Structure formats: C-alpha cells, structure tokens
Structure 1
Amino acid sequence: MARVLSALIIGLVFGSGIALSGMANPAKVLNFFDFAGTWDPSLAFVMGGALIVTAIGYALVLKRDAPVFDRLFHLPTRRDLDFPLVAGSAVFGIGWGITGFCPGGAIPALGLGHGDAWLFVGSMVGGIAAARLARHTLATHVMAKAS
C-alpha cells in the first residue's frame, strides 16, 4: 500500500508541476517549436529545471543500497541504439511537435479539461496496442520462418 501511495504522490507532484508550468497547454508547447513565429523559450527553462532536479535526485538516491520500496534498483543496462529505440523516439518527437502533447503533459491535461488530450491519450493507447501487436506478429513470423 505504501508503494502505491508513494507512486500516487509522485504522480500528483509531477502532474501539478506540468500544469503549473503551462506544459499541459499544447499551444505553449507548439510555440516552443515555432522559431520563426511566436517562439516561447519557457519550455527550455522547464526542461532545464527538471534536468537539474533529476541530476541531484539521481546523485542522492543512487548512493543508497536499494530503493525504499524495492530490494534493488532497476536501471537500464543496454547502451546500444536499435531500430525500435530510434523509431520510437522519432514517433514521439513527431507526435509531440504536431499535437503539442507528450504523455507526461497529456495526462494532467485530461484533468484540466483539455478535450484534445482525450483524443491524444486514446490515440496513444491505440498506438501502444498496435505496436505491441506488430512486435508480437513479427516475432511469431520470425520464429515460424526459423523452424
């Protein structure tokens, strides 16, 4: 129960930060990408602030032997760049640039009543399901060819 409560509090703090900084507003995000028009650099300051807080947090937390609610840290071990990583990053960036939403900003936007956020989140869930189905289908096809 403490683990779930901790995750809820962390999510509320993150969502509040996104909402207070204006990053749940897709127009503000899209203005960041509009260098030739109504450019708004505030997103860079939000990201920079988040990077500083994250760096300090990681430095402090990783000094511990284990996380508070688990027996070990689950950190990525792969360092290579593969097609799914590059393709996923490209889809994320293109989607963010077109819609003004990223998953971290879209979820708080749901609570703020942004109607477009519902369409975005629904499309995101559909895209995740389609990617999982494609990956499963591809893996099944490759396994069938190998046998």
Structure 2
Amino acid sequence: MKPQSTSVRPLLIAALAGVVFAAGLALGGMMDPRKVQGFLDVGGIGSGRWDPSLAFVMGGALLVSLITFARVGTREMSWSGDPIALPTRRDIDGRLVGGAALFGVGWGLSGYCPGPAVASLLIGGLDVACFIGAMAAGMLLARWWQTRAVDSQGADA
C-alpha cells in the first residue's frame, strides 16, 4: 500500500471537486430551501404546488455517480494517489433506517441538505447559519451517544 501523498495535488483535486459540486448545487437550485421544499411537497400539502424540476438535478447526479462508481471499481488508486476503499457492508439495520429518517425529516422541515447548506454559507443568511449550528450539534450529540453506547457495552462485558 502506497503512503498517503504529501503533495499539493490531493488538495487541488479536493478543492476543484468542491467548487464543481457547489456550482452544481447552485445552478440546480439545491441551495434554495423553497425550491427543495416545493420538490418534497409531492402531495401539495405545503405550498399546494409540487415542483418536479429537482428530479432532473438528482437524475443527473445519479447518472454521474453510476458512471463514476463503475470506473472506480476497476481502479486501486485515486487521482491523488490514495488507495480506494469502497464500503462493503450491504445490510440494513435500525441505525441506517433511523439516520435516513432523521435526515429526510430535517431536509423536509428546513429545506436544507447538508451539502447545499455548507455551500449556502457563502451567500449568508441567519437561517442557514442556524441550520449548520443545529446540524453540528446533532453530529456531536450522535457521536456522544455512540461513544456512550460503546462504553456501556464494554462495561457489560
């Protein structure tokens, strides 16, 4: 296994990927919480009008992901020279379902997905700052909860 590269190339690749991702989010309307909530309002309960336009953004992202993962599966090293290690777990457990449900509820209520929310910090707004703060607090709470569960299992052994 090759040691992790200390050159500037991995940082440039990561920065370029971040800029392309943020630009795609902005161009696709994913940084506008009203547009996202309009897409998620399939039943017309909130605004009364469903906005299906983000389905094309998500479909394009899915297409890019499918092609990328098909190519990545044939490579051992990334462009930055780091080894590629894809997840191998395929089981569905309570943590996965619960996390997905919390993610969906948070996205639907706020209109922000974590990636677009971070990108939205550049254009400002108290609402996105509050969302990022709540998301960070939730992540810290989840880490504390997980550590507590692991510690209590160790104490039972």
TM-score (norm 2): 0.87
Answering whether residue 135 of structure 2 is matched by residue 124 of structure 1, we say yes
Distance 1:67 1:129 in 2: 30
Answering whether residue 62 of structure 2 is matched by residue 55 of structure 1, we say no
For 2:121, what is the secondary structure of its paired residue?
helix
Match of 2:3 in 1: none
Instruction: Give the Å deviation of 1:60.
Output: 2.8
Match of 1:31 in 2: 38
Distance 1:61 1:132 in 2: 30
Instruction: Give the Å deviation of 1:20.
Output: 1.2
Deviates more, 1:77-86 or 1:67-76: 67-76
Distance 1:71 1:56 in 2: 20
TM-score (norm 1): 0.93
Q: Higher helix proportion, which one?
A: 1
Match of 1:138 in 2: 149
Distance 1:89 1:107 in 2: 19
Match of 1:92 in 2: 103
Unaligned runs of 5+ residues in structure 1 are none
Answering whether residue 22 of structure 2 is matched by residue 15 of structure 1, we say yes
Output the amino acid matched with 2:89: R
Deviation above 3 Å: which 4+ runs of structure 1? none
* Paired residue total: 146
Instruction: Give the Å deviation of 1:63.
Output: 2.7
